[in-house]
Amino acid sequence: MKTSTKPENIDKYISTFSPEIQEILEQIRTTIHRAAPHALEAIKYDMPAFTQNGKNLVYFAAFKNHIGFYPVPTGNSDWDSEFAAYKTGKGSIQFPYRKPIPLELITKLVEFRLKSLNGLH
């Protein structure tokens, strides 16, 4: 489980979790890298984050029962069907551990964010 020490990088962050959670976090990390190959890794708000051209792209974090993913276009009806199976909040979505992590949806979210950062949305 996550310690109270602030992580220096994503590797250190991931290492604080059980092997099962580490595997999920690495899958998400790899998915983000594939969708945004030029994004840089960072730690922001004590969470793994990716930046593109100096702007925040996406964040994710492991919690007791889910992975939180940020930001997402909540309140945008174009995404309602994609988000229907998950709990969402203002700009966030929760992927529960009891369900397969939707890596395809994460790819779509990262691609959407890239376009948003480039002023295409």
User: According to the model, what pLDDT value does residue 83 have?
Assistant: 94
Please tell me the predicted confidence (pLDDT) of residue 75: 79
Is residue 4 domain-resident?
Answer: no
Question: In angstroms, rounded to a whole number, what is the distance separating the alpha carbons of residues 23 and 42?
Answer: 19
33 is a domain residue: yes
The C-alpha atoms of residue 76 and residue 50 are separated, in whole angstroms, by: 23
3 assigned to some structural domain:
no
Q: State phi, psi for 38 to the nearest 5 degrees.
A: -100, 0
Parent domain of 25:
10-114
Average pLDDT, the chain: 93
Strand-pair partners of 88: 93
Please check the confidence at residue 2 and state whether its pLDDT lies above 80.
no
Residue 3 has pLDDT above 60, yes or no: no
Spatial contact of 14 and 2, defined as CB atoms under 8 Å apart: no
Instruction: Indicate whether 21 pLDDT > 70.
Output: yes
Tell me, what CATH number does 93's domain have? 3.90.1150.200
Residue 121 pLDDT > 80, yes or no?
no
Residue 5 lies in a domain: no
Helix, strand, or coil (residue 96): strand
**Residue 45: what pLDDT?**
92
The better pLDDT of the pair 121, 11 is held by: 11
Report the alpha-carbon distance of residue 3 to residue 92 in Å, rounded. 23
Question: What is the Cα gyration radius of the chain?
Answer: 14
Answer yes or no: is pLDDT of 120 > 70: no
pLDDT tens string 36-90? 999 999 999 999 999 999 999 999 999 999 999 999 988 788 899 999 999 999 8
